[in-house]
Amino acid sequence: MSAILHNKLEMQKNCITFDISQGCSGYCHAIEIVKDIMISRNIKKALIFTCDLYSKIIDMKNRDVNMIFGDAATVTLLDNEEGKYAILDSDFGTLPNSNDCLSIKNGNLEMNGNQVFNYACKEVPYAIKQLLSKNNLTIDDIDCFLLHQGTKFMVEFIRKLLKIPEEKAEFSAINIGNTVSSSIPIQLVENMKKKHKKDYVVLSGFGVGFTWGNVLIKIERED
């Protein structure tokens, strides 16, 4: 897919392209990978595309998934010279013996919703706390938490476990559903429109694997 996009955009041949298959935690993984490549190779700009067409792999008779997922696509520009946000730190993990919680069987998506929920509620809050602690920050120091929009119940449960005020970790996917890797960048677009009192935002993606990724970013304010 990355080579197809490269061709359609008529990019130069000395442009690095690659695909990441990491589902709901993919966006956070992509941010860290692309950032590190940009720094090591002195690349000024990069594009991160997200697109998971889950409608193609969902059996509409399967009530465990047919009312949850939605299709979406986004593109994010990373610029090492100017931008709205600065990437400060990140944290990632993969839970052993958890890969069967989300899988493709006979061409259709199968999900153990209870397992995914339990994994997310156990691993994600702890990982977020560890990331903040490492950077000498608390929940109160963060302006908002852009949590992967898996389900409304999951977002609200994680928010309560972390004791985050509702306005700082909203469920905003009521009309579009779980858009997988596009979930967080869609929220970022809306976040850019808000006036922030603090200086920090946390992105948190979790799902396929079972894996998670958290990214701490700082709002770059204009003088």
Q: Which distant-in-sequence residues (6+ apart) come within 8 Å of 65 by Cβ?
A: 54, 58, 59, 109, 110, 111
What class does CATH assign to 1-223? alpha beta
The amino acid at 40? S
pLDDT tens-digit series, residues 88-124: 999 999 999 998 888 888 888 888 888 999 999 999 9
The domain limits of the chain are: 1-223
Q: Name the residue with tokens 């852009």.
A: 146
Distance, in Å, from the CA atom of 31 to the CA atom of 213, rounded to the nearest integer, reads 10
> Strand, coil or helix: what is 150?
coil
Cis before 210? omega within 30: yes
Q: Which residue has the tokens 């958890």?
A: 98
Q: What is the pLDDT of residues 142-194, one digit of tens each?
A: 999 999 999 999 999 999 999 999 999 999 998 888 999 999 999 999 888 87
Query: DSSP letters along 92-121, please?
Result: EEE-TT-GGGEEEETTEEEE-HHHHHHHHH
pLDDT above 80 (res 24): yes
Quick check: 148 and 206 in contact, CB under 8 A?
A: yes
Is residue 55 within 8 Å of residue 69, measured between CB atoms? yes
What whole-number distance in Å separates Cα of residue 203 and Cα of residue 29?
A: 11
State pLDDT tens for residues 44-95: 999 999 998 888 887 777 777 777 888 999 999 999 888 788 999 999 999 9
Q: Considering only residues 97 and 204, tell me which one the structure prediction assigns the higher pLDDT.
A: 204
SS3 (DSSP) at 53: coil
Alpha-carbon radius of gyration of the chain: 17
CA distance 124 to 104: 24
Output phi, psi for 46, to 5 deg.
-150, 155
